[in-house]
Chain A
Amino acid sequence: MSTSSTHLSAEADTPLQTILVVEDEVLIRLVVAEYLRECGYRVHEAVSAEEAILILQAPEVSVDIVFSDVEMPGDMDGFWLARWVRSNMPDTQVILTSGAERSADIAGTLCEAGPLMKKPYHTQEVVDRIKQLKATAKRF
């Protein structure tokens, strides 16, 4: 089974928009990415700006929106990634965020503008889910 068949949304032949979520906190990343998938987007995940660039440079991947945390470990933070994208991929939109609440708000806005044009559930539930998982994961 090839993934190429999943590149079209259910609505006619509209290409499915692809979002790259760049977030070093794994529980925030997985909840936000899952929410955006339920909104109808195709979503890739990157742990760092370095990983994000590897995905952006992959010839088979076309990213429409980079959704990145500002604060990331190492020399390359979200601002650095945004500058790189604007220099190298000016057609790609960059959205910078910080923290679970802000990320959930922005994800909600993307959902309303996305292929399904509605939120699968309230963004406060995204924040609550992240808090619940963080409380469960002893190592976080």
Chain B
Amino acid sequence: MAHGHSAQDLMRPAGSAQPAMSVREVSLTLGGPPGRLILDAISFDVRQGEFLSIVGPSGCGKTTLLRLMAGLMPPTSGEITFEGAPVRRPSLSRAIVFQDYTNALLPWRTVSANIALSLEARGVARAERDDRVAALLKKMGLQHAAAQFPGQLSGGMQQRVQIARCLAQQPRIMLMDEPFGALDAITRQGLQDELMALAADEKMTVAFITHDLEEAIYLGDRVFVLAANPGRVVEEIEVGLERPRHQLLTREDPRFLKHRHRLFGLLQGH
């Protein structure tokens, strides 16, 4: 499984003794009895401040895994804890970025009002909201779209709005479900770099689901590979590539290519 730890250990942020989230022997069976085993005894930690990529083929249950981590549904067996406490229901401290931004944004609310939704949820006073929203609009490059409705924006812009809304939660972990999966390649690369800069700025802990192997390596401190039928973790790698990363140079780095080769085989051959 894992290999070559020592160098990467030094790169990890301090205070990572307790993991942010810990997934223990989590299984999920749907339907039945006997039902279909979707996830099979999955165990891993999300370390404090790390960017963890989870990659797998379609149908491997990776979205389901993220929903379990969010508390949107309970596992059949096993336990998930966040900062030591069991996850039983969703919490504002765990922000979720959904893949399908068209169904995650409120189409009747402007961009500003969509971002403000999180502030309403947190009970932030009305007077304070405008300043917070303005700051987030600026951070995500959405100032000019503030008064527009989601339906008037491109996919990339809509996903920016969703990320801004999640940031407004001031979460302690970001759970991202293939957030860039529906975007074109150029937009995706732009958002990848923005997300990495953001994660570094805010020292965010991120669990990032994707089916795109290169994206997983490019963004992640670590990459987990899930296999399908039933969903299970079959490989874990420390990426070990320096930050900030670069769309061309990083992707041409021999270590990047080595990871890519290794994981590519895993995703294809079973």
B is a partner of A: no
Interfacial residues, chain A to chain B (CB-CB below 8 A) = none
Interfacial residues, chain B to chain A (CB-CB below 8 A) = none
